[in-house]
Structures are given as C-alpha cells and as structure tokens.
A and B are shown apart, each in its own frame.
Chain A
Amino acid sequence: MVPLGEAAVTIEFTSESDDAILAELQNWLLSIQSSELRDLVECVPGWNSLTVHFDALQFSVEALQDRLMAVAHRAVEPVIQPARRIEIPVVYGGDFGPDLKWVAEQLGLTEENVVSRHAGGEYRVRLIGFSPGFAYLSGLPQELTLPRRASPRVQVPAGSVAMAGIQAGIYPATTPGGWHLLGRTPFRLFNPTRMPPCTLEIGDRVTFHPIAAADFAHSLKGSL
C-alpha cells in the first residue's frame, strides 16, 4: 500500500496470473463496498493495482491506510457472480484496421492468421482509463506481442480495436493513440448521457468476432 499524493492510496497486487489478480481486485472492491468506507472513497483499478481516492480534508494517508487494513481483515461473504460475456463484432483490416498488414509482416504471419488468433482470444476487462470508456484487456495471444508504435497517431478513429505489448483494447472515441489498429467495431463503449456511462465492466469476458465491412452499420447489438 503506497500513497499516490496526499489524497489517494495505491494497493499493489502481488499475484501474477490474470485470474489471481482479478480475484484479488474483486475481493478488495467487495470488502470496501461492504464497509463504512463505501461512500467515502472512490476505487480505481489499475492493471495490477487498486487505487483508493479520498478527500484529504477528511483523512490523512495514514488514517486511510489503517481503515483499509481493518476492512481487509473482516471476513466478507463473497458473492459469486459469473462474469458477463460480451461479444464484440469487428471489421478487420483494410481502412478499418490500417496496421493489420504491418503487424502481420512483423510477426511473419498472414493477415488471416493474425485475425484468427486475435479473434480466437479470450479476453478480460482489467481496467478502464486512458480516456472515458477505454477498456484495457488481458488475454492477447502471446504470439501477437509487439511494442507500441514509435510515434503515436494524432487521431485514432472511434471504435478502433487495438493492441500493444501484452494488452488489447478498444478506443471508445477519436483520440490520439499509440497502439496498433487491427480493425474497428460499431459497438459503442461510452455514452455520457447514461449512468453508468461505460458498456464494459471490470471482469467482463470479451470475445471478438469478424464481420464483413458491409455489415458494419447493422451490427449495433449490445451497444448503448
């Protein structure tokens, strides 16, 4: 547990596997939500951490850390909720995925190969951040690992399905971005007129399936 400035504390997880990290995260979230801290803090997951934001006028970092330790030691009845399964339609390559060709070349694979490996993956939402609704996913097949672009694009189109390093993600809105763009989805990830505004939640199981470019406009199942 380390301070993040004077108004937040970051709990760094020691687990290694995706499932173990998610379990550690969900235990913490459940413990905090079931305690008196529930309305006093805001929890923001990281890739393998959990940051607890609070009002520095109300708590010192030390006092909040003590409260978190007390909360962690209380036995909480875990509510086993099966993770939701979300299927995301993707048009791969061409104008929708301008980096597919380069990625395939770098990895010594055909484009079809890259697509089938990416679409064959079983992904989990680990955190949301970078921009509203941007979900970071674990589960990218190991053979698709490539470092992020040397220079980011000034504009990545909204819905772009991307990857970098060991992470996969989807850009909810048009923003600058440094990940490799494999395709695009019509699936809407963020809507500021709704509460909660994000479609995806931490822990969701996500799969991608290829659709034809002609079907892009019609595949809006499940989006906000």
Chain B
Amino acid sequence: MNLYIDRPAPLLTVQDLGRPGLRRYGVPVGGALDNLSAMTSNWLIGNEDLCAVLEFHGAGPALHLDVNAMIAVTGSEIAVRIGEVAAQHHRPLFVPAYSAIEIGAMTSGCWGYLAVSGGIEVPTVLGGRGTYLSGGFGGLEGRTLQRGDILPIGPNPWGGDALNLVFGVNASAPGFASSWGAFPCHPSRHFSSPKTFRVIEGREFNQLDSDSQSRFLHDEFAISSTSNRIGYRLTGQPLNRTTSKEMSSTAMVPGTVQLPPDGQPIVLMADGGTVGGYARIAHVVQADLAEFAQLRPGNKTRFRVVTLEEARNALLAQQRELARQKYALRAKWNLILAGL
C-alpha cells in the first residue's frame, strides 16, 4: 500500500511529533512545526497521534494512493481536489484508489499537513519517522520529497467495506467528505498579521541596552524569507547588546529568540541546534509556538512578556482542549464503527 508523489511542494517532508530524548547527542526533537494541525489531521481520520504525515510550506503536492483510503488536510484555508471534485480541508475525505489528489496554495498560514489513514510508514530512525533535513536522516532518505517518490502507508484500520459504509459511497465514486470536521486549537482561530506572541524573558534579556529592551517589547518585526524549520529570522531595527563578549555554548530550546552579532533576532524552531552560543533574549511560550510557526515570510509579529506561571497555565489549558478534541473525534469514530 503506497502513496505516490506526482508533483512535489515546497519543503515537502514526512514529519511526525518528533524524537525526544536525544538532545544530548545533538539531535533536536524536531517534529511538525504546527503540531496542533498535524495532530488534528490524524485524529480526523482515526489515526493515532504518532502517525507520520506530510508537511509542506505554502502550497501542497499532487499525489495518489494505490488503495482506497481516507485523508485529511489541515493547516489553513487550502484548496483540495480529488479527481474532478472540490473537497474540504479539515474534514475526513474518502479517496478511491488511483484518484488524483491535488492540494493547492494556502491563503493564510504557511505549513500544511496531509494525513492518510494508517499513517506514512517510512522506516523509523532513532525512534522517529520525521525528516531531519540538516542531518540527512529520517523521513524518506532524510530529504524533501520529489516527483516519483513512493511512500509506504500503513493498513487502513477498517477494510474497504467499512470505508464504503462510513461515507455511503461505492469504491468507484469520487472523493466524498464527511459532514463533520474539526479545527486545531490554536490560541486564536485565524492566522493574521500583525499578531502578538507571549514570551518568557531570556537569561540575556538584560544584556540588551535599554532602548533595545523597549523596542523588543514594542516594535513589530517581520518574518524574513530565509526562514525555515531551523529558525525564523526577524527583520527590523537591529537590537544591541551592552557587551560584545561571546557566550559559552549552552543548551537551547525551540522558541528561543536568539541575538546574533548582526542584531537581527532569530527564533529557533523545531530543527534548531540543541546548543548554541548566541544571547537568549526571550522564549516564545510553548502554547504559542504552533501558531507562531504559521507566520509567513512578510508577516509581522510583536512580543509581550508573561511570567513562567502564565506560560505554564496556557500550556495546561491547551492540553485540556487538545484532550477534549482528541476524545471527541475518537468517540465519533467509535460510534461510526459500532454502526457497521
């Protein structure tokens, strides 16, 4: 059972929720940049959290499968076609074998996800299926996907008959969407610009001169076009440190706003280095990172400082909402399957 790439997409890779526990070997956790959208895409079609999905930037791929299956596309407003039929994002979609699946351009946000029933089953490397591009391992051969690539997919937990019953169509009908769907629980529903993100003050925040400190908390920064899975470069008036002393290498975390010598901050993302030597101005709170990742080049961002307690409370609240959504979708599927 396979998935075939007919037309690739920018930064198209296989991702999952990352491989934690290997930072001391210099291996970042990685994982889908918008983990909330990735998880929702899996839950919509009854997959487990850990199933690997396709991740793409700005616009999606064209592909087909050699078996009847379900897919779900999340990330933002994005056009989906199955054969001749326009289909919906954020809904489970039935796809007959060999139908052409066309994912279009995203109109807001920049990372899209496509989950397929059974998950993408490339070999695991160091316990994960995600692609670590700078390390050249994971996913398919540690690289972005190209035309002609073939990815194994897992067995659909329900047989062909079950799919037919679930969607009320026979195997030769065009793609069909269920009447229900779900959106991921980002802190706000819409990806818009400019937007303010919550940060925790970093260890070296006080090394900024007072003008720079004030500007960091009030100015708008634009996301540069050189941004990628390793880090998002912010452009704006340069920030200045009061010292030019180089720092000793120390651990870093995704969301860290680093200040290189040129004064243009870099926000470390999922594939960012596990250690680094740049000053740490601030850290985007974990609860806001998935939505931060959806900022497109050119979008504007601002920062607002919160306490550690507020950051943790936001994460706990998000976790509760995630659990609610996960179990609601699971209950939905259990009901459907019980009716078969």
Pick out which of these stretches binds chain A: B168-176, B185-193, B304-312, B327-335.
Answer: B304-312
**Knowing A7-B253, A165-B246, A192-B125 touch, does A133 contact B309 (C-beta < 8 A)?**
no
A129→B20 CA distance, assembly (Å): 15
A-B contact number at CB 8 A: 128
Q: Which of B237-256 contact A (CB under 8 A)?
A: 246, 248-253, 255-256
Interchain nearest-CB distance for A29 vs B (Å):
10
Q: Is the CB of A42 within 8 A of B308?
A: no
Which label, helix, strand, loop or mixed, suits the secondary structure of the B interface?
Answer: mixed
**Knowing A57-B319, A133-B25 touch, does A3 contact B308 (C-beta < 8 A)?**
yes
Q: Is the CB of B280 within 8 A of A193?
A: no
B285 at the binding interface (Cβ < 8 Å): yes
Interchain nearest-CB distance for B314 vs A (Å):
9
Q: Which chain B positions have C-beta within 8 A of A195?
A: 126
B315 at the binding interface (Cβ < 8 Å): yes
Q: Is the CB of A136 within 8 A of B251?
A: no
Pick out which of these stretches binds chain B: A46-54, A101-109, A206-214.
Answer: A46-54
Q: Which of B98-135 contact A (CB under 8 A)?
A: 125-126, 132, 134-135
B273 at the binding interface (Cβ < 8 Å): yes
Contact of B275 among A43, A46, A165, A173 (CB under 8 A): A46
B300 at the binding interface (Cβ < 8 Å): no
Contact of A44 among B125, B137, B251, B255 (CB under 8 A): B251
Q: Which chain B positions have C-beta within 8 A of A23?
A: none
Produce 1/0 per residue, A185-199, CB < 8 A to B. 000001011011110
Interchain nearest-CB distance for A68 vs B (Å):
15
Q: Is the CB of A10 within 8 A of B250?
A: yes
Produce 1/0 per residue, B145-183, CB < 8 A to A. 000000000000000000000000000000000000000
Q: Is the CB of A197 within 8 A of B308?
A: no
Q: Is the CB of B308 within 8 A of A129?
A: no
Contact of A42 among B21, B138, B255, B315 (CB under 8 A): B21
Q: Is the CB of B251 within 8 A of A131?
A: no
Q: Which chain A positions have C-beta within 8 A of B315?
A: 6, 56-57
Minimal Cβ-Cβ distance residue in B for A2: B203
Q: Which chain B positions have C-beta within 8 A of A45?
A: 24
**Knowing A47-B250, A49-B250, A129-B26 touch, does A173 contact B273 (C-beta < 8 A)?**
no
Q: Which of A26-77 contact B (CB under 8 A)?
A: 42-49, 51, 53, 56-57, 60-62
A133→B23 CA distance, assembly (Å): 10
A173→B135 CA distance, assembly (Å): 7
Q: Which chain B positions have C-beta within 8 A of A127?
A: 249, 275
B11 at the binding interface (Cβ < 8 Å): no
Q: Is the CB of B135 within 8 A of A131?
A: yes
Q: Is the CB of A44 within 8 A of B286?
A: no
A140→B22 CA distance, assembly (Å): 27
A132 at the binding interface (Cβ < 8 Å): yes
A198→B251 CA distance, assembly (Å): 18
Q: Which chain A positions have C-beta within 8 A of B256?
A: 4-5
Q: Is the CB of B250 within 8 A of A46?
A: yes
Q: Is the CB of A198 within 8 A of B253?
A: no
- For the complex with contacts A4-B283, A196-B25, 11 further pairs of A-B residues with Cβ separation under 8 Å are A6-B200, A10-B203, A44-B274, A47-B250, A53-B251, A60-B308, A62-B308, A128-B24, A130-B276, A192-B27, A192-B137
A-B contact pairs, 14 of them (CB 8 A): A4-B280, A6-B286, A6-B311, A44-B251, A46-B248, A46-B250, A46-B251, A56-B315, A129-B251, A129-B274, A131-B134, A132-B26, A132-B135, A198-B26
